[in-house]
Chains A and B, each alone.
Chain A
Amino acid sequence: MRLHRLWALLTIAGIVWGTASVVLLVGWGVGVHQMVDTGMQKVGKNLIYLLPGRVSEDLSPADNRRELSFELEDARVLRASARHIELMSAEMQQFMYATHDGNSHLVDVRGVEPETMRLRGVSIAQGRWISPEDLSVERRIAVIGQTARERLFGEHPALGQTIGLNGQTFEVIGLLAKVGAQLSRDNSLIDEQIWIPITTARNLTGRKNLDLIVVRPPERRMNDLVKQEARRILAKRLHVSPEDEEAVQVISFIDYLSGFDAVFAAFNVFLTVLAIATLAIGGIGVMNMMLVSVNERRGEIALRLAVGARPSQVVGQFLVETLVITLIGGIAGTTLGVLACAALSLIHGDLVPTPHIIPAMVALAIATTVIVGVASGCLPAWRASAVDPAETLRAA
Chain B
Amino acid sequence: MSDPLIRVDQVTKVFPMGDLEVRALDRISMAIASGEYVGVMGPSGSGKTTLMDILGGLSRPSSGTYRFEGHSVEELDDRALAEIRGGRIGFIFQTFNLLPRLTAIENVELPMLYRAVPRSERRRRALDLLARVGLQERARHRPGELSGGQRQRVAIARALANRPSLILADEPTGNLDTVTGNSILDLIDELHRDGQTIVLVTHDPHVAERVERIVRLRDGTIESDQRR
Contact = CB atoms under 8 A, between A and B. Distances in A.
A306 B78 CA distance: 12
Interface in B81-118: 82-83, 85-87, 91, 93, 95, 97, 99-101, 110-111, 114-115
Interface of A: 1, 4, 299-300, 303-313, 388-391, 393-394, 396
Contact of A389 (B58, B100, B111): B58
A305 B101 contact: no
Best-buried of B53, B82, B114, B162 by chain A (most CB within 10 Å): B82
Given A393-B97, A394-B49, A308 B114 contact: yes
A352 B12 CA distance: 75
B210 interface: no
Given A307-B85, A308-B86, A393-B93, A388 B162 contact: no
B101 A393 contact: no
B151 interface: no
Contact of B53 (A300, A307, A394, A396): A394
Contacts of B110: 304, 307
A390 B144 CA distance: 24
Given A299-B97, A307-B85, A307-B158, 10 more contacts: A1-B142, A1-B144, A306-B85, A307-B114, A308-B162, A309-B114, A310-B82, A310-B114, A312-B78, A388-B59
A393 B59 CA distance: 11
Interface centre among A303, A308, A312, A396 (most CB of B within 10 A): A308
A310 B111 CA distance: 11
Contacts of B115: 308
Nearest to B95: A396
Nearest to B110: A307
A1 B100 contact: yes
Given A308-B85, A308-B111, A303 B58 contact: no
B58 to A, nearest CB: 4
Nearest to A3: B100
Interface of B: 49, 53, 56, 58-60, 78-79, 82-83, 85-87, 91, 93, 95, 97, 99-101, 110-111, 114-115, 142, 144, 158, 162
Q: Determine the main DSSP class of A at the interface with B.
A: helix
Contact of B58 (A299, A300, A306): A306
Contact of A300 (B60, B79, B99): B99
A64 to B, nearest CB: 98
Given A1-B142, A303-B97, A307-B158, A313 B58 contact: no
Contacts of B79: 310
19 contacts: A1-B142, A1-B144, A303-B97, A306-B56, A306-B91, A307-B110, A307-B111, A308-B83, A308-B86, A308-B111, A308-B114, A308-B115, A309-B86, A310-B79, A310-B82, A312-B78, A390-B53, A391-B59, A396-B95
A300 B110 CA distance: 12
B85 A388 contact: no
A303 B95 CA distance: 12
Nearest to A5: B101
B180 to A, nearest CB: 22
Nearest to A394: B49
Contact of B114 (A299, A313, A390, A391): A313
Nearest to A392: B58
B82 A309 contact: yes
Contacts of A394: 49, 53
Contacts of B53: 388, 390, 394
A206 B95 CA distance: 105
Q: Which 8 pairs across A and B sit closest by C-beta, in order of nearness?
A: A308-B86, A390-B59, A390-B53, A390-B58, A310-B82, A307-B111, A308-B114, A1-B101
Nearest to B98: A303
Contacts of A308: 82-83, 85-87, 111, 114-115, 162
Nearest to A313: B114
Contacts of A313: 82, 114
Contact of B60 (A1, A299, A312, A388): A388
Interface centre among A304, A307, A311 (most CB of B within 10 A): A307
